[in-house]
Structure 1
């Protein structure tokens, strides 16, 4: 139980740190409601599951300095820059009321799923976090079954937390607050993503040099 609390606490603290996934979920919830943002949440959770599976399998290809790690860094920087520019260019006030807000169709949810998955899978920080955490667990002698249980718990927590964030952001009071300011929210999120892209690219440049 002590080990579980330490692992769960470290994972949740990392989850609380806002990043590109949080910005995408927030923006999607404001525009499409929490059901529309559910696709993004599922994509993010699945990408985390992929990294956890790789960590459990003992893959070390994403260690800092490895060619694949540098490639992921550059791909992630490019994707974050693309998302940032797209958000800034598409910024517009939210004209629909909460009651009239449309619910995303299957195609919209699939697109949201793809965006969420790409955002999380191209974030090397996720790979490093899970690789480090499960390396420590393996070194401490934790059984594989226990590590798998931790992994399932983490995926469930990621999905639950992201859905909670989406649900809170889509509440009527917040919709009224942010609805008329959505353009500025999108521009701010886009600028933040571009800055993150620059930081990731700088790290990738350091890995090459």
Structure 2
């Protein structure tokens, strides 16, 4: 029980630190509403679930320098692309959008969520370090831990989406949503440049 509490607390504290996934959810919720943003939430949780399953099953390809470098470079390019798109976007939340458009938006956000999660090496490295700390734990225990972490990631992300994309929140933030989305884009660009700069320095040394 003490081990579970320690793992749960460490995992939740890591979720509280704003990162790439947070800014993606925030921007999506503020421009498309929280329902459309749940697509990104599920995509991010799915990516985390893949990393959890890989780490807990002993599959640690991400720890190989070459694989990590490729993912880091691809992730940096992806963040730059998304960040620039956010900065240039003039999209505003439309509560009257048609169901078909909303469904298409949800699926697009789901794809962005998976890409954001899978191309963020910090997620993979976090779960690898957690798996190392849990070495020797019974398989059933690891399954329970993995299911718990997947659920918490999804629940927290949906909470963020609702908090920022509800009708009440959008009414309060309506005028500054364009500025907030540009700020989110700026953070993503900085994250992307940081990842590319890191891998570039590693290649030069």
Range class of TM-score, shorter chain = over 0.9
Number of equivalenced pairs: 203
Gaps of 5+ in 2: none
CA distance in 2 between counterparts of 1:11 and 1:207 reads: 29
Write out per-residue CA displacement over residues 119-140 of structure 1, whole angstroms, 9 at most, x where no aligned residue: 01000000000001011101xx
- The secondary structure found in structure 1 opposite 2:201 is helix
Equivalent in the alignment of 1:24: 24
Q: Is the 8 A contact 1:30 1:169 kept in 2?
A: yes
| 1:132 paired to 2:137 | no
Gaps of 5+ in 1: none
CA distance in 1 between counterparts of 2:47 and 2:55 reads: 13
So what's the TM-score if we normalise by structure 1?
0.91
Q: Is the 8 A contact 2:30 2:93 kept in 1?
A: no
One of 178, 182, 192 as aligned partner of 1:183: 178
- The secondary structure found in structure 2 opposite 1:180 is helix
Q: Is the 8 A contact 1:81 1:193 kept in 2?
A: yes
CA distance in 1 between counterparts of 2:141 and 2:76 reads: 34
Q: Is the 8 A contact 2:32 2:93 kept in 1?
A: no
Write out per-residue CA displacement over residues 57-106 of structure 1, whole angstroms, 9 at most, x where no aligned residue: 2122212x6100000000000000000100011135x364x5x4666532
Higher helix share: 2
Cα displacement (A) at 1:171: 2.6
Tell which deviates more after alignment, 26-35 or 168-177: 168-177
CA distance in 2 between counterparts of 1:158 and 1:40 reads: 12
- How do 1:80-91 residues align onto structure 2 when only pairs under 5 Å count? 80-91=79-90
Cα displacement (A) at 1:32: 1.8
Equivalent in the alignment of 1:158: 153
CA RMSD in angstroms, aligned pairs only: 1.6
| 1:42 paired to 2:39 | no
CA distance in 2 between counterparts of 1:95 and 1:162 reads: 19
So what's the TM-score if we normalise by structure 2?
0.93
CA distance in 1 between counterparts of 2:184 and 2:93 reads: 19
Q: Is the 8 A contact 2:38 2:106 kept in 1?
A: yes
Going from structure 1 to structure 2, the CA distance change for 1:206 and 1:95 (only over 3 Å counts) comes to closer
Equivalent in the alignment of 1:173: 168
CA distance in 2 between counterparts of 1:170 and 1:186 reads: 12
